[in-house]
Amino acid sequence: MRDIRNIAVIAHVDHGKTTLVDELLKQSGTFTAHQEVEDRVMDSNDIEKERGITILSKNTAIDYEGVRINIIDTPGHADFGGEVERVLKMVDCVLLLVDAQEGVMPQTKFVVKKALQLGHRPIVVINKIDKPGGDPDRVVDEVFDLFDQMGASEEQLEFPVVYAAARDGYAKLDLAEPNENLIPLFTTILNEVPKPKGSDENGLQLQVFTLDYDNFIGKIGIARIFNGTISMGETVTLVKADGEKIKGRVTKLIGFKGVDRFDIKTAGTGDIVAVAGFETIDVGDSLCDPANPMPLDPMHIEEPTLSVTFAVNDSPLAGTEGKYVTSNKIDERLNAEMNTNIAMNYEQIGEGKFKVNGRGELQICILAENMRREGFEFSIGRPEVIVREIDGVKMEPFEHLVIDTPDEFSGAIIEKLGKRKANMTNMVPMGSGYTRLEFEIPARGLIGIRTEFLTETKGEGVMNHSFLEFRPHSGTVESRKYGALVSMENGEAVGYSIFNLQDRGIMYIKPQDKVYNGMVVGQHAKGNDLDINPIKAKQQSNVRSSGADEAIKLVPPRVMSLENALEWIEEDELVEVTPISVRVRKRDLDPNVRKRTAKKVKFAD
């Protein structure tokens, strides 16, 4: 049996996981001298590269001093917690990265809790020790306190600590040592990570932890072998989570090294491989020895907390910018997404309407962003939290919210969150002019708050949250304070008209943008909606004045990104998404219908 170590790199978002994996790949000699390697090589998806975040957990393998080290890079964002949870079951140890300045953050707590429950003894890597505001000793104490709070065992509390600056490619076991390379980290991994349990002699037990899809070979399950061996062309039994057994043949067996995938003939205990040949394979399924199938426990995946309605675009500009506009195409694409993304699900709820359930706004935004880049055109409704009924009581998801803000804005933040039913649990001065605030808040209260929060803190605040639990429904939450400026005409916007409307609020359009009746073209300065005419041009007259016309000065419009638009809209509005534009519109385009509906709602209240 080969000498193997299986580790996952876990941390809060932006603490340097992917950068560390990059350096491990480079310094282990995985890339040849002439091979060109880009930064954050594990972030393969366009959106991951642009935003600098990891969305999908990915695995790689390196060989160091004759030992095969399988590394899984995981997302740090709470919305992708489902990805992290599964991965932790596949490894024997975790590298817990903590930023030397920020210390323990909400997502750190989430991943640590999962890792400790599974019995892992983490290797703690204090990263970014080169930061001027870094305080590695304080952060080690924070990590110890966190482990203690989470009920860690004596052995888990004796965790090894490595100090690193992943970007500069060095690690050390003592802060006084010189900055050289990552050898101290490699040595710690070889000494501290347990070897895989199990044996090649036992019957096959392999469990799938993530999915991939290939147009030629179909669904691919990426899995860890806990016992036995598997070979290309072998007949094995697939055991589903509900106990159903399906016999099938392994049509392709794929191994990993660096960023490459290649076909292999056979693999044994402790290996992480990709297996093809089973169309119904899913996360948590086991592949077993047909003579004596002994499946592993199915995985528990955290349930979705947010739902959004995707629908066919029916605005007057429908079909003018997108390539795929029919409900069949949207259905196909959502189905393909669910093939590989198990933290989401969807159902058809009407003609051309699909309800998509996910773990958070970011996760749903990324699906929508990917779809628009592929040429899809559709509309999205306002995100809603999924309310459950437990023992006859309406329960809603609550989140643990952590905010780091400059001291002078903390009062305004506390007031704003109080109106959204947030309950403050902790307030700690962080030094250097910052305060950390901790809240428990209904997930509904977080919808639409990010933009307001950034405005309130002048872009200097940092906000993070992770799912806490379901609690009894907490009544109504304050929503948007401002009304919408709604176009009452179809056509192209005119500079003269926009100039005259600027005093009414913030405009979202510029001259020559296409507008239609019922489209939201700006944010009203008051609380009510206002119908306006943005296509009215200046009339010519017979009287010519001696003075020239006054020059109009236009304020640049606020450009709405997909995330801003989803946060901003109310119940009666939709976001129209096309490969070229993101527009906000009223659900009912006819102003008379809107007035009648508003009267009914008022009457009902």
CATH code for the domain of 136: 3.40.50.300
**Confidence bin at 49 (pLDDT 50/70/90):** very low
Q: What is the pLDDT of residue 218?
A: 78
- Which among 198, 214, 217 has a CA at the least distance from the CA of 206? 198
3-state SS of 517-542 is CCEEEEEECCCCCEEECCCCCCCCCC
For residue 103, being part of any structural domain is answered with yes
Residues 28 and 141 in one domain: yes
Residues 142 and 267 in one domain: no
**Confidence bin at 433 (pLDDT 50/70/90):** confident
Q: What is the pLDDT of residue 549?
A: 57
Q: pLDDT averaged over the chain?
A: 80
For residue 267, being part of any structural domain is answered with yes
- Flag whether 187 is marked binding: no
Residues 163 and 38 in one domain: yes
- Flag whether 242 is marked binding: no
For residue 63, being part of any structural domain is answered with yes
Residues 9 and 121 in one domain: yes
**pLDDT reading at 605 higher than 60:** no
Task: Give whole-number Cα distances, 543 to 539, 546, 547, in Å.
Answer: 11, 10, 12
- Flag whether 524 is marked binding: no
**pLDDT reading at 45 higher than 60:** no
Domain span at residue 445? 388-472
- Flag whether 129 is marked binding: yes
Strands 484-487 and 530-532: parallel
For residue 283, give the DSSP letter: T
For residue 398, being part of any structural domain is answered with yes
Residues 175 and 34 in one domain: yes
Distance CA 59, CA 142 (A): 29
Element (H, E) at 186: helix 183-192
CATH code for the domain of 408: 3.30.70.240
For residue 315, being part of any structural domain is answered with no
Angle (deg, nearest 10), helices 327-340 and 361-373: 120
For residue 218, being part of any structural domain is answered with yes
**pLDDT reading at 111 higher than 80:** no
> Per residue in 523-541, pLDDT tens?
998 888 888 888 887 766 5
Task: Give whole-number Cα distances, 39 to 22, 36, 563, 603, in Å.
Answer: 7, 10, 26, 59
- Flag whether 19 is marked binding: yes
Q: What is the pLDDT of residue 451?
A: 74
CATH code for the domain of 280: 2.40.30.10
Strands 218-227 and 205-214: antiparallel
**Confidence bin at 34 (pLDDT 50/70/90):** very low
Contact indicator for 563, 572 with CB cutoff of 8 Å: no
Residues 168 and 218 in one domain: no
Residues 464 and 525 in one domain: no
Q: What is the pLDDT of residue 272?
A: 85
- Flag whether 335 is marked binding: no
Residues 222 and 279 in one domain: yes
> Per residue in 348-386, pLDDT tens?
888 888 999 887 777 788 888 888 888 999 999 888 888
Residues 134 and 28 in one domain: yes
> Per residue in 383-417, pLDDT tens?
888 888 888 888 888 888 888 888 888 888 888 88
- Which among 442, 439, 438 has a CA at the least distance from the CA of 474? 442
Residues 265 and 405 in one domain: no
- Flag whether 210 is marked binding: no
Residues 449 and 513 in one domain: no
Q: Which of 421, 449, 472 represents a domain boundary (last residue)?
A: 472
CB atoms within 10 A of CB 39: 11
- Flag whether 17 is marked binding: yes
- Flag whether 600 is marked binding: no
Distance CA 452, CA 470 (A): 26
Residues 70 and 219 in one domain: no
Following CA atoms 482, 358, 222, 186 in sequence, which dihedral angle do they give, to the nearest 10 degrees? 50
Q: Which of 288, 313, 337 represents a domain boundary (last residue)?
A: 288
Q: In total, how many domains does the chain have?
A: 4
For residue 203, give the DSSP letter: P
- Flag whether 16 is marked binding: yes
CB atoms within 10 A of CB 494: 17
For residue 214, being part of any structural domain is answered with yes
Q: What is the pLDDT of residue 540?
A: 62
Contact indicator for 413, 460 with CB cutoff of 8 Å: no
Distance CA 20, CA 171 (A): 10
Contact indicator for 5, 93 with CB cutoff of 8 Å: yes
3-class SS of residue 557: coil
Q: What is the pLDDT of residue 543?
A: 59
Q: Which of 157, 192, 227 represents a domain boundary (last residue)?
A: 192
For residue 427, being part of any structural domain is answered with yes
Q: What is the pLDDT of residue 463?
A: 78
